[in-house]
């Protein structure tokens, strides 16, 4: 199980125990809350994030690394991981999540390097192309995440109003 999945489930259970149960005096409602906690504990044992979107993000990162390696040939750049980073058939969400998060940090280092004054001064055309390429791949990666994001409920969350 991934750490973030675990955190979310634990957070829901904690919030129900701390905020909902103490304010529920109706036996039926309390029974519903305890049932939800039980179901969540079951999910903790049996469920996890989907591997597919994580794998897609890791593949996009790998494509970005390959392209930057090609564009930065001969330049003094931060380390670029060897690709592919995920072995064939890897479907463990915990390992994929760690690869995705680690990949984001590498992409950040490369982006900051490409946009730095020293790189821009030394090789402006290549630096701009690397910056553009990285931003493009990162945007594609964000699209994968946006596709898994439910519609915002900020109004309901902030006000408690169903409208």
Of residues 33, 31, 32, 30, the one with CA closest to residue 13: 33
- 3, burial (CB in 10 Å: exposed 0-12, middle 13-18, buried 19+): exposed
Smallest distance, Å, CB 28 to another protein? 22
Whether 69 contacts 130, CB under 8 Å: no
* Whole-number Å distance between alpha carbons of 136 and 129: 11
Residues 58-117, interacting with another protein (CB under 8 A): 101, 104-105, 107-108, 111-112, 115
* Per CB under 8 A, 145 contacts another protein: yes
What is the rounded distance in angstroms from the CA atom of residue 68 to the CA atom of residue 126? 10
Determine the interface stretch with another protein among 34-42, 44-52, 71-79, 139-147 (rule: CB under 8 A). 139-147
> How near is the Cβ of 122 to another protein at its closest, in Å?
18
Applying CB under 8 A, the residues found at the interface with another protein are 3-4, 7-8, 11-12, 14-15, 18-19, 101, 104-105, 107-108, 111-112, 115, 134-135, 138-139, 142-143, 145-146, 149-150, 152-155, 157-161, 163
């Amino acid at each position: 199980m991934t750490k973030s999945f675990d955190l979310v489930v634990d957070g829901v259970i904690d919030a129900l125990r701390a905020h909902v149960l103490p304010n529920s005096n109706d036996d039926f409602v309390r029974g519903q809350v305890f049932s939800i906690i039980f179901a969540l504990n079951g999910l903790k044992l049996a469920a996890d994030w989907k591997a597919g979107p994580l794998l897609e993000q890791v593949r996009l990162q790998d494509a970005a690394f390959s392209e930057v390696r090609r564009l930065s040939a001969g330049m003094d750049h931060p380390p670029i991981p060897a690709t592919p980073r995920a072995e064939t058939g890897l479907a463990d969400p915990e390992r994929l999540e760690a690869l995705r998060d680690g990949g984001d940090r590498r992409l950040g280092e490369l982006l900051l390097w490409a946009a730095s004054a020293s790189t821009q001064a030394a090789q402006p055309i290549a630096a701009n192309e690397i910056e553009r390429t990285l931003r493009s791949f990162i945007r594609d990666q964000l699209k994968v995440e946006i596709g898994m994001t439910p519609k915002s409920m900020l109004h309901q969350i902030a006000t408690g109003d169903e409208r």
